[in-house]
Amino acid sequence: MPLLANRPCRLGPVGRYAPSPTGKLHLGNARTALLAWLQIRQSQGTFILRMEDLDPARSVSEYALQILEDLRWLGIDWDEGPDVGGPCSPYIQSLRNHLYEQVLSDWVERGLIYPCACSRKDLANLARAPHGPAEEGPPYPGLCRHLSPESWQEKYRKKGQASYRFLAPEGFLTYTDGIYGPFYQDVKAVVGDFVVRRADKVTAYQLAVVVDDALMGVTHVLRGDDLLSSTPRQILLYEALNAPVPRFYHVPLVLGPDGVRLSKRHKGTSLESLRAQGISPEEVTGFLAATAGLLPSPEPISPKDLVSLFSIDKLPRNPFRVTEKDLKLLGL
Ligand code: GLU
């Protein structure tokens, strides 16, 4: 599609960190950002910072500013981003809606997506079915896809709005993750036809992330492994765009002492509060590097000095559980 014809031509790999400004940057997100940055800096590629603020109910502009400040404090820089610009501006998703809409109208024409007027109640009823991973809910069985035009019109008239769903093909999709290795998923069986634009017209994460990574020429996607199961869906969208599929690297997450994924619920692990306690960026980086197998023990180091020590092969294949002792080490 002509949209892709405008992609910048760059030498070397292109990576990115794509935070959602829904909270403060904590040790877990900082680790993902650091690893994505190290991978690209080691291969002298281009590093992009993109703000994924599509969900108006959850995105807060103060967090966006704070995330940039915290990353800079840590010693991470970017060649393109919301504040420095670049050939793919804007680097803020809420300003890129026209691009997602262009893709959606092309896909409507090609019959790749269809409108869905299922109500929450229709879907809540489905939630009782015993399939699908807990966090996703059960697969969508294609209710609206199978309605006659008249029945669909009737359903739409009642609801007054519709989402768009991407038609999931039959069969397994396979890809090889740079960390996880071979990964298989039957998208249709696991999630069914999936939403690419919500009924309130907000572009779904799955679509926006693919359109942006494709248009920005991203070749390396290193991110938390909570997004591993989204990747087959995203590969289907790259294929629909006729865009090259990047290499994916899904890093096992950092868990808190309670065994739950580290998040803002774990008090004191935001970069802002670590900084406020007088912890240096080098101490934070050294701690993160040790959790990622790049240092044998947490020694203060700057991200720049860590570049030559980075290797995908060293990254752990299991989640890292932060202990109370680790937190004490950081003064928490
Ligand atoms: N914006 C997403 C998040 O913060 C990450 C998207 C991605 O790396 O693909 O969870």
Mean pLDDT of each 10-residue bin along the chain, 332 residues long: 82 95 93 98 98 93 96 98 96 97 97 91 56 64 90 91 95 96 96 94 95 97 94 97 97 87 76 92 96 94 98 93 79 65
Residue 17, marked binder: yes
Q: What is the CATH number of the domain that holds 186?
A: 3.90.800.10
Whether 230 maps to a domain, the answer reads no
Whether 295 maps to a domain, the answer reads yes
Assess whether 104 and 51 both reside in one domain. no
Q: Say what the pLDDT of residue 127 is.
A: 45
Assess whether 133 and 62 both reside in one domain. no
Assess whether 86 and 115 both reside in one domain. no
Q: What is the CATH number of the domain that holds 37?
A: 3.40.50.620
User: If DSSP states are collapsed to H, E and C, what string results for 203-250?
Assistant: ECHHHHHHHHHHHCCCCEEEEEHHHHHHHHHHHHHHHHHCCCCCEEEE
Active-site pick, 159, 201, 264, 304: 264
* Ligand 1 atom showing the smallest separation from residue 17 Cα: 8
Assess whether 71 and 161 both reside in one domain. no
* Ligand 1 atom showing the smallest separation from residue 29 Cα: 4
Of the candidates 265, 273, 252, which has an alpha carbon nearest to the alpha carbon of residue 321? Answer: 252
Assess whether 186 and 133 both reside in one domain. yes
Residue 267 falls in the annotated catalytic set: no
Pairing mode of beta strands 247-251, 254-255: unpaired
User: What's the gap in Å between 258 CA and the centre of ligand 1?
Assistant: 23
Domain that holds residue 303: 13-94+252-329
Q: Say what the pLDDT of residue 9 is.
A: 84
User: What's the gap in Å between 19 CA and the centre of ligand 1?
Assistant: 6
User: What's the gap in Å between 20 CA and the centre of ligand 1?
Assistant: 6
Q: Tokens representing 98? A: 């026209």
Strand partners, 247: 220
Q: Say what the pLDDT of residue 130 is.
A: 35
Assess whether 168 and 118 both reside in one domain. yes
Q: Is the CB of 18 under 6 A from ligand 1?
A: yes
Whether 6 maps to a domain, the answer reads no
Assess whether 26 and 109 both reside in one domain. no
Residue 116, marked binder: yes
Q: Which of 145, 170, 204 is the last residue of a domain?
A: 204
Whether 232 maps to a domain, the answer reads no
Q: Is the CB of 52 under 6 A from ligand 1?
A: yes
